[in-house]
Structure 1
Amino acid sequence: MPFNTPKRILKYFRQDSRAVTPYRVNQWFKWLSPGLSIKRWLLISASGVCFVGLGLAIWIKLTPIFYAIQLVEGFLNKVTTILPSYISGPLVLLLGFLLILWGQSRTVGSITEVFRTDGDEELIDLLLNYRRLNRGPKIVVVGGGTGLSTLLRGLKTYSANITAVVTVADDGGSSGRLRREIGVLPPGDIRSCLAALASEEKLLTELFQYRFKAGDGLVGHSFGNLFLTAMSDITGDLEQAIAASSKVLAVRGQVLPATLSDMRLWAELADGRRIEGESNITHAKGSIIRLGCTPTNPPALPKALQAIEEADFIVIGPGSLYTSIIPNLLVPEIAAAIAKRCQKGNPPIPCIYVCNIMTQPGETQGYSVADHIRAIDRACGRHLFSAVLVQKQSPSETSLIRYAQENSHPVFLDREEVAQLKRRIILANVMDEDEQGLVRHNPQRLAGVLFRWYSRASKMRG
């Protein structure tokens, strides 16, 4: 071994300590950040210690404390004769501060080990993030399907006060089978939203989304759908089942069905056909001229109405126009509550519609942005939102070719028509494309654009 190896090791540890020390000091100072509600309780605790000592002294008539003070005084006199007070004083202060820092860091470290989820994040960072999210605006998102869960994944990084109002008109796939065989409300869209808002470990979320690939009667079912169905039976209704599942997944915010009624869609097509059932409407491959539901006026979930009443910001979409978004608005109380907050509020709160990037065969083939807006206005009989978010750039040639084969094209922005509908246009690049040319909204970019628009709209209102 070379003679300079110990020097190298010492140099390494010095460099490492210099790198770690600023980080630790920065972490300690974070505890002084405003809004944590930590400093006040530490001060109250210290005051409590002083009062306990004072009370003890009064109770025992100061006699033992008097002799203890004399003993300490004698000890300090001897110390100061050996070391002058201007040396011994700072040394004792330094020792006290070091003991406090050591004790506090070990205490915080022990607590962090309990609450740490990924093995990296410090407790102070968890607390700061928790406070930031809980101070976020109250957001209500209305929709369903893949589009809504995509948006929720982005929004949960900005606020924990999110309410997703989800359609219960689905009658296809695993949800449809459970609805027909057991008679429960379809849990599919609710399951996806719960998984999107979950802050629990990734494995638990993947379990909730897992679909069985084998087993008599299990193939195609997702674990989350079966879990929600079982919880509905145990708790008595879907609302309680969602609340219990939210605790399991540590959901940020809440997911609420628009109604607890057994809601079923029907559509009248341009060729005169009347199609029953959500899954059959898309497969009919016709032009929808009217959409309705049975029962005609399903009652809204009271908690959904309360969330809308208390909202700071309402987002409609993205998602399938006729089978994910409009079904929520066919619940008259939901549409009326949104209109009251966004159009008649004093002042009205920001409300925006996130338009789809591509048209959907069987629902919106040939639709422009204005056509999407007209369909929503026609379904609920009023204007609900003041702005529409539209993808700015067109997808790549690969994506266009892929979607054209399915008779799907980018939603055309007809500016003049949208202006006549008295809607403001928000253009932004919020699109993702995968290697196969599949187009989706990017959760983080979409949420970022919505929050920037909300901030500007709030400042203009204020």
Structure 2
Amino acid sequence: MTYNLENAPVFTCLGGGHGLYQTLRAARAAGAGDINAVVTVADDGGSSGRLRRELSMIPPGDLRMALSALTEDSDEGVLWRSTLQHRFGGNGAMAGHAVGNLILAGLAEELGDMQLALDTVARWSGSVGRVIPVCQQPLEIEADVAGLDDDPRVLRSVRGQVAVATTPGAVRRVRLLPTAPDATPQAVEAIMAADLVTIGPGSWFSSVIPHLLVPDIVQALNATEAKVVVILNLSPEAGETHGFSTERHIHVFGQHAPELRVDYFLADSVKGPTEGERTHLRRAASGVGAAMEFRDVREAPRSGEVSTRHDPAKLAAVLLDLLRTS
């Protein structure tokens, strides 16, 4: 299906952390008429982890970061962006807490609902989109990890997002606790209403794959008429995907959601694979019904160092091009 860009498209972006932040900036640069951020809720580290444990709430950190990416570009919106991201210093009980996390925690208690809290902050900050938790309950990631034993064939379980992201072993597979959680209705609605859905980039096992372990999300991705684009990382994450090739990322994606079909995998072409490697990547992508796209989506080098971040303007142009493609 070819999309008519006479109307501003609706973007729904799945992920978490810095990867989702960059994708949301790209959605803004693309002139999206509506933007929905569907955000993972498995974080258990830092300020988010403390609030999660102390208040038995959805971890707010990735939600806060998505909110900050969507604040309006006025002076007030910029102030909200920096305030939401501001962290307290010192050595006391407040040290390390992000202001936005505390605001969301307080509003969620006051209003009795995290989605209402997110929508309230979005209204205050003049947000150009909506932030939606993928599930209404905090999730826990558990991984099977090799290399933690003298025998490399032995798999050991590692539990928790931080533990999975920083393990010195090789992650083979992850699962969610509780298993097969229900998605929030708003997340499903956002996928179904979209013209384009993005998945990633980000920490593969802790920000991207968890979305694929929520059955309602997979069903919505297969049912939506939107183009579904998986944005691959520009480099392996230290820890959980250390040493992973781009092809390995695609295989892991397919292994965790074998019934899911997407339209495109998007990889960077600037420091991209050889033609022979591209053939293997196209074959891997076809395993989940997808085409493989190689485009320049990397930020320009700074001080001679190659960037590991996506350029929002470049990514926006590519996503709009894919949206036009039949």
Find 2:258's aligned residue among 381, 384, 406: 381
Root-mean-square deviation (CA), in Å?
Answer: 2.2
Q: In the TM superposition, what is the alpha-carbon distance from 1:277 to its structure 2 partner?
A: 0.4
- Structure 2 unaligned regions, length at least 5: 147-153
> How does 1:347-366 map onto structure 2 within 5 Å?
348-366=225-243
Inter-partner Cα distance in structure 1 for 2:269 and 2:70: 27
> What is the aligned partner in structure 1 of residue 151 from structure 2?
none
More helix by share: 1
Is residue 2:93 matched to residue 1:217?
A: yes
Indicate conservation of the 8 Å contact 1:358/1:411, yes or no.
no
Counterparts in 2 of 1:233 and 1:134: CA distance versus 1, 3 Å: farther
Partner Cα separation in structure 1 for residue 195 and residue 260 of structure 2 = 18
Identify the residue that residue 317 of structure 1 maps to in structure 2.
200
**Structure 2 residue aligned with 1:394:** 271
**Cα distance in 1, alignment partners of residues 195 and 274 from structure 2:** 29
1:180 corresponds in structure 2 to 53
Task: Compute the displacement of 1:413 (Å).
Answer: 8.5
- 1:443 alignment counterpart: 312
> Structure 1: 5+ residue runs without aligned partners?
1-132, 342-347, 396-409
Between the aligned partners of 2:174 and 2:217, the Cα distance in structure 1 is 16
Cα deviations by residue, 1:178-206 (Å, 9 ceiling, x for unpaired): 11122211111111111101115312211
**Counterpart secondary structure, 2:155:** coil
Indicate the SS of the match to 1:454: helix
Q: Which has the higher contact order (CA 8 A, sep 6+)?
A: 2
Q: TM-score, normalised on structure 2? A: 0.88
Deviations 1:70-92 (A, max 9, x none): xxxxxxxxxxxxxxxxxxxxxxx
Say whether 1:161 aligns with 2:37: no
Rounded to whole Å, the distance in 2 between the matches of 1:339 and 1:374 is 18
3-state SS, counterpart of residue 144 of structure 2: strand
2:157 aligned partner:
274
Counterpart Cα distance in 2 of 1:257 and 1:424:
29
**Alignment-mate amino acid for residue 428 of structure 1:** R
Whether the 8 Å contact between 2:202 and 2:233 is mirrored in structure 1 is yes
Aligned partners of 1:135 and 1:159 also within 8 Å? no
Which residue in 2 is equivalent to 1:307? Answer: 190
Q: How far does residue 449 in structure 1 lie from its aligned partner after superposition?
A: 1.3
CA separation of 1:259 and 1:413: change in aligned 2, threshold 3 A: farther
Q: CA separation of 1:430/1:355 partners in 2, compared to 1, >3 Å: closer, same or farther?
A: same
Amino acid across the alignment from 2:136: L
Shift of 1:170: 0.5
Q: Which amino acid aligns with 2:294?
A: L
What is the alpha-carbon distance in structure 1 between the residues aligned to residue 165 and residue 319 of structure 2?
A: 29
Provide the rounded CA distance (Å) in 2 between the counterparts of 1:424 and 1:163: 24
Hey, what's the Cα distance between the residues in 2 that align with 1:431 and 1:213?
A: 33
Q: Which has the larger radius of gyration?
A: 1
Q: Does 1:416 align with 2:283?
A: no
- Deviation string 1:219-276 (CA, Å, 9 cap, x unpaired) is 1111001111111111102111111111011111211010012211100012411001
Deviations 1:12-55 (A, max 9, x none): xxxxxxxxxxxxxxxxxxxxxxxxxxxxxxxxxxxxxxxxxxxx
SS of the residue corresponding to residue 255 of structure 1 reads strand
Matched AA of 2:57: V
> Given the alignment of the two structures, is residue 290 of structure 1 paired with residue 163 of structure 2, yes or no?
no
- Alignment-derived partner of residue 209 in structure 2: 326
Alpha-carbon contact 2:88-2:94 (below 8 Å) kept: yes
Letter in 2 for 1:321: W
SS at match of 1:314: strand
CA distance in 2 between counterparts of 1:253 and 1:298 reads 25
Alpha carbons of 1:206 and 1:413: their partners in 2 closer, same or farther (altered >3 Å)?
A: farther
Distance change (3 Å), C-alpha of 1:248 and 1:436: farther
Equivalent in the alignment of 1:428: 295
- 1:290-334 Cα distance to aligned partner (Å, 9 max, x none): 110111011100011111111111111111110101111211111
Q: How many angstroms apart in 2 are the aligned matches of 1:368 and 1:412? A: 15
Contact 2:42/2:139, CA 8 A, preserved across alignment: yes
- Give, as a single letter, the amino acid of the residue that structure 2 aligns with 1:430: V
SS of structure 1 residue aligned to 2:121: helix
1:412–1:281 Cα change, 3 Å = farther
Q: When you count strand as a share of all residues, which structure comes out higher?
A: 2
What CA distance in whole angstroms lies between the structure 1 residues aligned with 2:115 and 2:261? 26
Identity %: 33
Write the mapping of 1:243-262 to structure 2, written as runs, cut at 5 A. Answer: 243-262=119-138
In the alignment, the residues of structure 2 paired with residue 305 and residue 223 of structure 1 have an alpha-carbon distance, to the nearest angstrom, of 29
